Chains A and B, each alone.
Chain A
Amino acid sequence: MIGMDTLLLVGGMALVTFGIRYVLLPFSGRIRLSSGVQRALAFVPPAVLTAIIVPMALMPNGETIEIAWSNPYLIGALATAVIGWLGKRLLLTIVGGMGVFLAWKWILMAGWIGQ
Protein backbone atom coordinates (compact mmCIF):
# COMPACT_ATOMS: atom_id res chain seq x y z
CA MET A 1 0.00 0.00 0.00
CA ILE A 2 1.58 3.29 -1.07
CA GLY A 3 0.80 6.92 -1.84
CA MET A 4 -2.77 8.18 -1.75
CA ASP A 5 -4.20 5.08 -0.07
CA THR A 6 -1.66 5.29 2.76
CA LEU A 7 -2.44 8.98 3.23
CA LEU A 8 -6.18 8.31 3.41
CA LEU A 9 -5.68 5.33 5.73
CA VAL A 10 -3.38 7.10 8.21
CA GLY A 11 -5.32 10.38 7.98
CA GLY A 12 -8.64 8.61 8.50
CA MET A 13 -7.36 6.60 11.46
CA ALA A 14 -5.79 9.69 13.03
CA LEU A 15 -8.96 11.75 12.63
CA VAL A 16 -11.23 9.04 14.00
CA THR A 17 -8.97 8.29 16.98
CA PHE A 18 -8.45 11.93 17.95
CA GLY A 19 -12.16 12.61 17.41
CA ILE A 20 -13.17 9.91 19.87
CA ARG A 21 -10.67 11.08 22.47
CA TYR A 22 -11.62 14.75 22.11
CA VAL A 23 -15.31 15.03 21.20
CA LEU A 24 -16.77 15.24 24.71
CA LEU A 25 -14.42 17.99 25.90
CA PRO A 26 -15.95 21.07 24.21
CA PHE A 27 -19.32 20.16 25.71
CA SER A 28 -17.94 19.34 29.14
CA GLY A 29 -19.41 22.48 30.66
CA ARG A 30 -22.90 21.32 29.75
CA ILE A 31 -22.46 17.66 30.66
CA ARG A 32 -23.42 16.64 34.18
CA LEU A 33 -22.57 13.07 35.09
CA SER A 34 -24.94 11.55 37.62
CA SER A 35 -23.36 9.61 40.48
CA GLY A 36 -24.69 6.40 38.91
CA VAL A 37 -22.88 7.12 35.64
CA GLN A 38 -19.72 8.00 37.54
CA ARG A 39 -19.87 4.71 39.41
CA ALA A 40 -20.31 2.86 36.11
CA LEU A 41 -17.31 4.68 34.60
CA ALA A 42 -15.15 3.38 37.44
CA PHE A 43 -15.50 -0.11 35.92
CA VAL A 44 -14.26 1.07 32.51
CA PRO A 45 -10.53 0.37 32.86
CA PRO A 46 -10.71 -3.18 34.27
CA ALA A 47 -13.54 -4.24 31.92
CA VAL A 48 -11.95 -2.85 28.74
CA LEU A 49 -8.44 -4.10 29.50
CA THR A 50 -9.73 -7.58 30.36
CA ALA A 51 -11.79 -7.73 27.17
CA ILE A 52 -8.57 -7.03 25.23
CA ILE A 53 -6.34 -9.46 27.14
CA VAL A 54 -8.47 -12.61 27.49
CA PRO A 55 -8.79 -13.43 23.76
CA MET A 56 -5.07 -12.69 23.27
CA ALA A 57 -4.13 -15.15 26.01
CA LEU A 58 -6.67 -17.88 25.30
CA MET A 59 -6.87 -17.64 21.50
CA PRO A 60 -3.35 -16.78 20.34
CA ASN A 61 -4.10 -18.03 16.83
CA GLY A 62 -7.32 -16.01 16.73
CA GLU A 63 -9.51 -18.99 15.96
CA THR A 64 -9.78 -21.63 18.69
CA ILE A 65 -9.63 -21.45 22.48
CA GLU A 66 -6.45 -23.17 23.65
CA ILE A 67 -6.49 -24.19 27.29
CA ALA A 68 -3.31 -26.26 27.24
CA TRP A 69 0.24 -26.36 28.56
CA SER A 70 1.36 -25.85 25.00
CA ASN A 71 -0.11 -22.31 24.97
CA PRO A 72 2.67 -20.05 26.30
CA TYR A 73 0.37 -16.99 26.20
CA LEU A 74 -1.97 -18.63 28.72
CA ILE A 75 0.83 -19.83 31.00
CA GLY A 76 2.52 -16.42 30.77
CA ALA A 77 -0.75 -14.59 31.53
CA LEU A 78 -1.45 -16.76 34.58
CA ALA A 79 2.11 -16.25 35.83
CA THR A 80 1.81 -12.48 35.28
CA ALA A 81 -1.42 -12.40 37.30
CA VAL A 82 0.13 -14.39 40.15
CA ILE A 83 3.22 -12.14 40.24
CA GLY A 84 0.98 -9.07 40.16
CA TRP A 85 -1.15 -10.47 42.95
CA LEU A 86 1.80 -11.26 45.19
CA GLY A 87 4.14 -8.38 44.42
CA LYS A 88 1.80 -5.49 43.63
CA ARG A 89 4.66 -3.86 41.72
CA LEU A 90 3.83 -3.00 38.11
CA LEU A 91 7.35 -3.19 36.72
CA LEU A 92 8.04 -6.51 38.44
CA THR A 93 4.74 -7.86 37.13
CA ILE A 94 5.43 -6.93 33.50
CA VAL A 95 9.08 -7.99 33.41
CA GLY A 96 8.46 -11.15 35.45
CA GLY A 97 5.48 -12.16 33.31
CA MET A 98 7.46 -11.58 30.14
CA GLY A 99 10.29 -13.69 31.58
CA VAL A 100 7.99 -16.62 32.39
CA PHE A 101 6.41 -16.39 28.94
CA LEU A 102 9.78 -16.49 27.15
CA ALA A 103 11.08 -19.28 29.42
CA TRP A 104 7.95 -21.33 28.79
CA LYS A 105 8.25 -20.81 25.05
CA TRP A 106 11.84 -21.98 25.25
CA ILE A 107 10.85 -25.07 27.27
CA LEU A 108 8.21 -25.93 24.69
CA MET A 109 10.68 -25.47 21.87
CA ALA A 110 13.21 -27.68 23.63
CA GLY A 111 10.54 -30.38 23.66
CA TRP A 112 10.50 -31.03 27.43
CA ILE A 113 6.73 -30.94 27.48
CA GLY A 114 4.65 -32.91 25.01
CA GLN A 115 2.32 -30.98 22.75
Chain B
Amino acid sequence: MPAYTKKSEFFRGARDSLPLVIGAIPFGIIFGTLSGSAGLSVAGTMGMSLFVFAGSAQFIAMGLVAAGTAWPMIVLTTFVVNFRHLLYTATLLPHLQNLPRRWQAILAFGLTDETFAVAVGRWRKGDASPHKHWYQLGSMVYMYTNWNLCTLIGIVAGRMLQDIAGWGLDFAMVAAFIGMVMPYLKDRPNYCAVMVAGTAALLFYGLPHKMGLIAASLAGICAGVMADALMRQRLAAARGRQKQ
Protein backbone atom coordinates (compact mmCIF):
# COMPACT_ATOMS: atom_id res chain seq x y z
CA MET B 1 0.00 0.00 0.00
CA PRO B 2 1.79 3.17 -1.14
CA ALA B 3 1.63 6.24 1.06
CA TYR B 4 0.27 9.32 -0.65
CA THR B 5 2.09 12.53 0.15
CA LYS B 6 1.52 16.00 -1.31
CA LYS B 7 4.80 15.73 -3.15
CA SER B 8 4.17 12.27 -4.57
CA GLU B 9 0.70 13.28 -5.79
CA PHE B 10 2.09 16.46 -7.39
CA PHE B 11 4.80 14.64 -9.30
CA ARG B 12 2.53 11.77 -10.26
CA GLY B 13 0.05 14.28 -11.70
CA ALA B 14 2.87 15.87 -13.68
CA ARG B 15 4.17 12.51 -14.85
CA ASP B 16 0.75 11.30 -15.99
CA SER B 17 0.40 14.54 -18.00
CA LEU B 18 3.67 14.02 -19.88
CA PRO B 19 2.07 12.64 -23.08
CA LEU B 20 -0.29 15.62 -23.21
CA VAL B 21 2.55 18.03 -22.50
CA ILE B 22 4.43 16.57 -25.46
CA GLY B 23 1.28 16.85 -27.57
CA ALA B 24 0.95 20.51 -26.60
CA ILE B 25 4.52 21.40 -27.59
CA PRO B 26 4.01 21.71 -31.36
CA PHE B 27 0.64 23.33 -30.76
CA GLY B 28 2.10 25.99 -28.45
CA ILE B 29 5.01 26.68 -30.78
CA ILE B 30 2.73 27.12 -33.79
CA PHE B 31 0.54 29.50 -31.76
CA GLY B 32 3.53 31.71 -31.00
CA THR B 33 4.75 31.42 -34.56
CA LEU B 34 1.53 32.42 -36.27
CA SER B 35 0.78 35.31 -33.92
CA GLY B 36 3.12 37.68 -35.71
CA SER B 37 1.52 37.29 -39.12
CA ALA B 38 -1.93 37.39 -37.51
CA GLY B 39 -1.16 40.89 -36.26
CA LEU B 40 -1.06 40.04 -32.55
CA SER B 41 1.69 41.83 -30.61
CA VAL B 42 4.25 39.91 -28.54
CA ALA B 43 2.59 41.24 -25.37
CA GLY B 44 -0.83 40.14 -26.60
CA THR B 45 0.43 36.67 -27.54
CA MET B 46 2.29 36.10 -24.28
CA GLY B 47 -0.56 37.68 -22.33
CA MET B 48 -3.02 35.15 -23.73
CA SER B 49 -0.86 32.17 -22.78
CA LEU B 50 -0.12 33.62 -19.32
CA PHE B 51 -3.59 34.81 -18.33
CA VAL B 52 -6.14 33.04 -20.54
CA PHE B 53 -4.43 29.61 -20.79
CA ALA B 54 -6.89 27.98 -23.19
CA GLY B 55 -5.27 26.59 -26.31
CA SER B 56 -8.11 26.23 -28.78
CA ALA B 57 -9.72 29.54 -27.75
CA GLN B 58 -6.37 31.31 -28.18
CA PHE B 59 -6.06 29.91 -31.71
CA ILE B 60 -9.55 30.98 -32.65
CA ALA B 61 -8.99 34.43 -31.15
CA MET B 62 -5.79 34.78 -33.16
CA GLY B 63 -7.66 33.91 -36.35
CA LEU B 64 -10.29 36.51 -35.53
CA VAL B 65 -7.62 39.14 -34.84
CA ALA B 66 -6.14 38.38 -38.25
CA ALA B 67 -9.59 38.87 -39.79
CA GLY B 68 -9.84 42.28 -38.11
CA THR B 69 -12.59 41.35 -35.66
CA ALA B 70 -13.38 43.83 -32.86
CA TRP B 71 -12.32 42.73 -29.35
CA PRO B 72 -15.83 42.43 -27.83
CA MET B 73 -16.76 39.89 -30.53
CA ILE B 74 -13.57 37.92 -29.83
CA VAL B 75 -14.33 37.87 -26.10
CA LEU B 76 -17.87 36.67 -26.86
CA THR B 77 -16.51 33.90 -29.10
CA THR B 78 -14.08 32.91 -26.32
CA PHE B 79 -17.06 32.60 -23.99
CA VAL B 80 -18.84 30.25 -26.39
CA VAL B 81 -15.75 28.18 -27.17
CA ASN B 82 -14.76 27.76 -23.51
CA PHE B 83 -18.27 27.21 -22.22
CA ARG B 84 -17.57 23.47 -22.23
CA HIS B 85 -15.31 24.05 -19.21
CA LEU B 86 -18.43 24.73 -17.15
CA LEU B 87 -19.24 21.07 -17.64
CA TYR B 88 -15.73 20.16 -16.46
CA THR B 89 -16.20 22.12 -13.23
CA ALA B 90 -19.62 20.53 -12.80
CA THR B 91 -18.04 17.09 -13.20
CA LEU B 92 -15.37 17.81 -10.58
CA LEU B 93 -17.76 19.61 -8.22
CA PRO B 94 -18.15 16.78 -5.72
CA HIS B 95 -14.35 16.56 -5.41
CA LEU B 96 -13.49 20.27 -5.31
CA GLN B 97 -16.29 21.52 -3.11
CA ASN B 98 -14.54 20.99 0.22
CA LEU B 99 -11.26 22.62 -0.77
CA PRO B 100 -10.34 26.09 0.52
CA ARG B 101 -11.37 28.92 -1.78
CA ARG B 102 -7.77 29.68 -2.74
CA TRP B 103 -7.29 26.13 -3.99
CA GLN B 104 -10.55 26.25 -5.90
CA ALA B 105 -9.48 29.43 -7.69
CA ILE B 106 -6.06 28.07 -8.63
CA LEU B 107 -7.39 24.74 -9.89
CA ALA B 108 -10.20 26.51 -11.80
CA PHE B 109 -7.66 28.74 -13.54
CA GLY B 110 -5.79 25.69 -14.85
CA LEU B 111 -8.79 23.54 -15.78
CA THR B 112 -7.84 22.87 -19.40
CA ASP B 113 -9.11 19.94 -21.48
CA GLU B 114 -5.88 18.08 -20.78
CA THR B 115 -5.67 18.56 -17.03
CA PHE B 116 -9.36 17.76 -16.68
CA ALA B 117 -8.94 14.51 -18.61
CA VAL B 118 -5.97 13.46 -16.46
CA ALA B 119 -7.32 14.66 -13.10
CA VAL B 120 -10.81 13.19 -13.43
CA GLY B 121 -9.22 9.74 -13.58
CA ARG B 122 -7.34 10.39 -10.33
CA TRP B 123 -10.38 11.79 -8.48
CA ARG B 124 -12.46 8.77 -9.48
CA LYS B 125 -9.95 6.24 -8.17
CA GLY B 126 -11.21 4.57 -5.05
CA ASP B 127 -8.26 5.14 -2.70
CA ALA B 128 -8.61 7.54 0.22
CA SER B 129 -5.64 9.81 -0.53
CA PRO B 130 -6.33 13.22 1.07
CA HIS B 131 -4.02 14.99 -1.40
CA LYS B 132 -5.66 14.35 -4.77
CA HIS B 133 -5.85 18.10 -5.41
CA TRP B 134 -2.05 18.12 -5.44
CA TYR B 135 -2.22 15.65 -8.31
CA GLN B 136 -4.37 18.07 -10.32
CA LEU B 137 -2.02 20.94 -9.37
CA GLY B 138 0.97 18.94 -10.64
CA SER B 139 -0.75 18.38 -13.95
CA MET B 140 -1.74 22.03 -14.41
CA VAL B 141 1.64 23.49 -13.37
CA TYR B 142 3.40 21.24 -15.87
CA MET B 143 0.95 22.07 -18.67
CA TYR B 144 1.09 25.80 -17.86
CA THR B 145 4.88 26.06 -17.75
CA ASN B 146 5.19 24.09 -20.97
CA TRP B 147 2.48 26.08 -22.76
CA ASN B 148 4.11 29.41 -21.96
CA LEU B 149 7.60 28.21 -22.81
CA CYS B 150 6.38 26.89 -26.16
CA THR B 151 4.53 30.13 -26.92
CA LEU B 152 7.76 32.02 -26.28
CA ILE B 153 9.80 29.63 -28.46
CA GLY B 154 7.17 30.02 -31.18
CA ILE B 155 7.34 33.81 -31.06
CA VAL B 156 11.11 33.69 -31.48
CA ALA B 157 11.00 30.91 -34.11
CA GLY B 158 8.28 32.66 -36.09
CA ARG B 159 10.57 35.59 -36.63
CA MET B 160 13.43 33.36 -37.78
CA LEU B 161 11.70 30.59 -39.77
CA GLN B 162 9.18 32.11 -42.12
CA ASP B 163 7.53 28.92 -43.43
CA ILE B 164 7.07 27.06 -40.12
CA ALA B 165 3.33 27.80 -40.38
CA GLY B 166 3.01 25.38 -43.29
CA TRP B 167 4.45 22.39 -41.43
CA GLY B 168 1.09 21.30 -40.09
CA LEU B 169 2.14 21.31 -36.43
CA ASP B 170 -1.47 22.01 -35.49
CA PHE B 171 -2.12 18.30 -36.10
CA ALA B 172 -0.54 17.65 -32.68
CA MET B 173 -3.76 18.82 -31.05
CA VAL B 174 -5.83 16.38 -33.12
CA ALA B 175 -3.49 13.52 -32.16
CA ALA B 176 -3.52 14.44 -28.46
CA PHE B 177 -7.31 14.72 -28.33
CA ILE B 178 -7.80 11.40 -30.16
CA GLY B 179 -5.50 9.81 -27.60
CA MET B 180 -7.66 11.31 -24.84
CA VAL B 181 -10.92 10.01 -26.37
CA MET B 182 -9.76 6.40 -26.90
CA PRO B 183 -10.05 5.24 -23.26
CA TYR B 184 -13.73 6.24 -23.26
CA LEU B 185 -14.58 3.95 -26.18
CA LYS B 186 -15.37 0.98 -23.99
CA ASP B 187 -19.15 0.66 -24.30
CA ARG B 188 -22.01 1.43 -26.69
CA PRO B 189 -23.30 4.63 -25.06
CA ASN B 190 -19.84 6.20 -25.40
CA TYR B 191 -19.63 5.12 -29.05
CA CYS B 192 -23.03 6.75 -29.64
CA ALA B 193 -21.90 9.96 -27.91
CA VAL B 194 -18.74 10.15 -30.02
CA MET B 195 -20.44 9.29 -33.33
CA VAL B 196 -23.22 11.83 -32.86
CA ALA B 197 -20.89 14.57 -31.54
CA GLY B 198 -18.58 14.11 -34.54
CA THR B 199 -21.36 14.14 -37.13
CA ALA B 200 -23.09 17.09 -35.50
CA ALA B 201 -19.82 19.01 -35.38
CA LEU B 202 -19.65 18.79 -39.19
CA LEU B 203 -23.33 19.68 -39.63
CA PHE B 204 -23.20 22.66 -37.27
CA TYR B 205 -19.75 23.87 -38.31
CA GLY B 206 -21.12 26.92 -40.12
CA LEU B 207 -22.94 28.35 -37.07
CA PRO B 208 -21.67 31.81 -36.10
CA HIS B 209 -19.13 32.36 -33.30
CA LYS B 210 -18.19 28.68 -33.15
CA MET B 211 -21.57 27.92 -31.59
CA GLY B 212 -21.47 24.61 -33.47
CA LEU B 213 -18.99 23.24 -30.92
CA ILE B 214 -21.47 23.58 -28.06
CA ALA B 215 -24.40 22.33 -30.15
CA ALA B 216 -22.43 19.26 -31.24
CA SER B 217 -21.18 18.54 -27.70
CA LEU B 218 -24.72 18.69 -26.34
CA ALA B 219 -25.99 16.45 -29.16
CA GLY B 220 -23.28 13.90 -28.31
CA ILE B 221 -24.06 13.99 -24.58
CA CYS B 222 -27.79 13.52 -25.31
CA ALA B 223 -27.04 10.56 -27.57
CA GLY B 224 -24.91 8.98 -24.85
CA VAL B 225 -27.61 9.48 -22.22
CA MET B 226 -30.30 8.00 -24.47
CA ALA B 227 -28.19 4.98 -25.42
CA ASP B 228 -27.35 4.49 -21.74
CA ALA B 229 -31.03 4.63 -20.76
CA LEU B 230 -31.94 2.18 -23.53
CA MET B 231 -29.29 -0.28 -22.36
CA ARG B 232 -30.47 -0.04 -18.76
CA GLN B 233 -34.03 -0.66 -19.89
CA ARG B 234 -33.01 -3.75 -21.86
CA LEU B 235 -30.94 -5.01 -18.96
CA ALA B 236 -33.90 -4.57 -16.61
CA ALA B 237 -36.19 -6.33 -19.08
CA ALA B 238 -33.76 -9.23 -19.42
CA ARG B 239 -33.57 -9.54 -15.63
CA GLY B 240 -37.38 -9.48 -15.47
CA ARG B 241 -37.58 -12.37 -17.91
CA GLN B 242 -35.03 -14.33 -15.93
CA LYS B 243 -37.10 -14.01 -12.77
CA GLN B 244 -40.17 -15.40 -14.50
What's the minimum C-beta distance from B184 to chain A, rounded to whole angstroms?
4
Interface majority SS (helix, strand, loop, mixed), chain A:
helix
Complex Cα spacing A85 to B191, Å: 13
Q: Which residue of B lies closest to A105 (CB)?
A: B168
Q: Is the CB of B180 within 8 A of A50?
A: no
Q: List residues of chain A with CB within 8 A of the CB of B175.
A: 76-77, 80, 93-94, 97-98, 101
Selected contact of B85 from candidates A21, A33, A42, A50, CB within 8 Å: A21
Q: Is the CB of B184 within 8 A of A45?
A: yes
8 Å CB interface, B80-121 against A:
82-91, 93-94, 96-97, 101, 104-105, 108-109, 111, 113, 116-117, 120
Q: Is the CB of B178 within 8 A of A93?
A: yes
Report the contact-size class of chain A (Cβ under 8 Å from the partner).
35 or more
Complex Cα spacing A87 to B54, Å: 29
Q: List residues of chain A with CB within 8 A of the CB of B219.
A: 47
- Taking A14-B51, A22-B109, A43-B193 as known contacts, 19 extra A-B pairs with beta carbons closer than 8 A to each other, sorted by chain A number, are A9-B61, A12-B74, A17-B82, A18-B109, A20-B79, A23-B89, A25-B104, A39-B228, A46-B181, A50-B181, A50-B193, A54-B199, A55-B212, A56-B170, A59-B202, A77-B175, A80-B175, A88-B182, A101-B168
Residues of A at under 8 Å CB distance from B? 1-2, 5-6, 8-14, 16-18, 20-26, 28-29, 31, 33, 36-37, 39-59, 65, 72-73, 76-77, 80-81, 84-85, 88, 90-91, 93-95, 97-98, 101-102, 105
